[in-house]
Structure formats: C-alpha cells, structure tokens
Amino acid sequence: MTDLPPEPPRIRRRPRLAEAVVEDLVKSIVTETYPAGTALPPEGMLGDMYQVSRTVIREATMALTEKGLVVSQQGRGTIVRDASDWDMLDPMILGALFEREDGLAYLDNLSEIRSLLEGAMAAKAAEKRTPEMVEALTRQMEKLKSLIPHPAAYVHEDVGFHDIIMRMSGDRLSKAVIDGVQSEALRNHGYSGKLNVAHVRDTHAAHERIYDAIVAGDGEAASRAMRDHIEGSWARRRAARNGKG
C-alpha cells in the first residue's frame, strides 16, 4: 500500500467582515483616534458601531493583537500599545502611517531606506551580472524609452526596472523589505505623485546612468547612480506635493 503524501496545512483566513473591521480599527489606532494607553470601546459597543457580532469583534481584536497594536489587560480591557510595539512592516499599519498628518516624514524615511538598500543591490547587480540578466535589463530599458511620452505607463514599467535589478543582486531579504514597504506607499498619491514628460525624461536619464554602470560591472558607480536617482526623484515629487515644483 502506497503512503499518501500529507495534506498541506490549511491557512486560516479571517472572514471578510472581520477584515473590514480590522482595517478601520488599524487606521483609528495609527492615526491616534485611540491614542496609546487608552482602551478600545468594549466588545458590545464595537459590535454596535460596526453592526457585527461579538464573534467578529473578537476576530478583529485578535488580528490587532497579532499586529502589536493592542494588548488585553485584566480589568482594563483592550489597551492600545505604544507605537514602538507595532509591526511597522504590516501592510495595513504602513498604509495608515502614510495617511497620518505626519505621513510625509514616513515617506521621507521610505526614500532613505530605498536609497540605502537599492544602492547596495545595484552594486551587487553590477558584480553578479550575467549576459541573460543584462539582456533582460536591456529589454526593459528599451520598453521604458518607448514610453517616455506616456508618463503613467512609464511609471508602471519603472517598477519593473527596479525589480530586475533587485533580482539580479540576489539579495532576497532586502528585496522583500522594499517590496513590502513600497507596495503600500505606491497607493498613496503623495508618494507616487504626478509625473509629466519632462520629469519622465529626467527619470529615464537617471535609469540610463544606472544601466550603464551595471553593464560595465562598476558596482560603486551603480550604487551611486541608484542612490542619486531615488533621492532626486523623491525630492522632485516631494516639492511638487508641497506646491514648489
């Protein structure tokens, strides 16, 4: 008798209703409608507020606990934890942070993180390049060049350019951090901004400098070009956001 392979573990998913409650409560906590040290309303009151059962509220509270946002305390209820305890890489928390009044500071921080990590990855990409990798990057550059007159399409393919370089670097951990953090930032108009053709031309020129350095195998130049690109691009978008560009 042949042994059957073990069944894969089942991933427990929360009901959509609970997820909706979680998302709203995360935003309320992160934007300090419920400041650190205060208690969330009791289960029954939250159930009435969201028109859901106590079971749904318990599911939502469990999710908030997993994200580091709250802790249950005997006799006090569900208490909001200090921001230092939050899971800052959690997508819901990130999304809410970028929407806060001081959200610009978090977007500045994201640009700093990208500059450091992607700069290092560009250097590794230059050192580890193969003919196949260079060919893929070349095709992406050609695609980007054809899209310069179309800013929205260019921005979409811009992400692909950076993704190829990160994969070339072989640095999976840094790529995971960038992918996780940036995916939420891209939903925020203040981060992605509105690019016109002139801005796209500047961006493409920066991409060409990165590309040339990687193809030449010059890790130091690739790292510098990537850092200059990320910092300069954010500076332009930041200025436009503040009405200065």
Summarised one tens digit per residue, pLDDT across range 200-232 is 999 999 999 999 999 999 999 999 999 999 999
92-144 pLDDT, tens digit each: 999 899 888 888 898 899 999 999 999 999 999 999 999 999 999 999 999 99
Average pLDDT, the chain: 89
Q: 43 with 54: CB under 8 angstroms?
A: yes
Q: Estimate the crossing angle of helix 16-30 against helix 43-50, to 10 degrees.
A: 110
Highest mean pLDDT among 61-65, 74-78, 103-107: 61-65
The domains of the chain, with CATH numbers, are 1-101 (1.10.10.10), 102-241 (1.20.120.530)
Both structure tokens of 20: 């909706």
Both structure tokens of 9: 């573990």
143-195 pLDDT, tens digit each: 999 999 999 899 889 999 999 999 999 999 999 999 888 877 777 656 766 67
Q: How high is the pLDDT of residue 112?
A: 94
Torsion angles phi and psi, residue 232, rounded to 5: -70, -40
Query: How many whole angstroms separate alpha carbon 187 and alpha carbon 176?
Result: 18
User: For 170-218, where are the alpha helices, taking DSSP H only?
Assistant: 172-185, 189-192, 197-215
Pairwise pLDDT comparison (55 vs 191), residue with the higher score? 55
Query: How many whole angstroms separate alpha carbon 195 and alpha carbon 155?
Result: 8
Query: How many whole angstroms separate alpha carbon 229 and alpha carbon 203?
Result: 7
Q: How high is the pLDDT of residue 12?
A: 45
